[in-house]
Amino acid sequence: MTSTPTVARAIELLRQAKRVVALTGAGISTPSGIPDFRSPESGVWDDVDPMEVASIYAFRHNPALFFDWLRPLATTILTAQPNPAHLALASLEASGRLQAVITQNIDLLHTRAGSRTVYEVHGSLRQATCQGCHHEVDAPPLLEHYAHTGELPLCTCGHIIKPNVVLFGEMLPARVMRLAQAEAAMCDVMLVAGSSLEVAPAGDLPELAKRAGAQLIIVNLGPTHMDRQADLLFREDVAELLPQLAEPFRRRGIEELANQ
Catalytic residues: 122
Question: Could you tell me how many residues make up the chain?
Answer: 260
Are the CB atoms for 193 and 233 separated by under 8 Å? Answer: no
3-class DSSP assignment, residue 228: helix
The angle that helices 84-94 and 238-258 make with each other, rounded to 10 degrees, is: 30
Task: Give the C-alpha separation, 50 to 66, whole Å.
Answer: 10
Alpha helical stretches, state H, the chain: 4-16, 50-53, 56-61, 63-79, 84-94, 109-113, 139-149, 174-186, 205-211, 238-258
Direct distance between the N- and C-terminal alpha carbons of the chain, in angstroms, rounded to an integer: 37
Task: Give the C-alpha separation, 98 to 116, whole Å.
Answer: 11
119 contact partners, CB below 8 Å, separation of at least 6: 100, 101, 102, 103, 176, 179, 180, 183
Task: Give the C-alpha separation, 13 to 149, whole Å.
Answer: 51
Q: Side-chain half-sphere of 40: how many Cα atoms within 13 Å?
A: 1
Q: Distances from the Cα of 26 to the Cαs of 3, 162, 164, 191, in angstroms? A: 25, 22, 18, 15
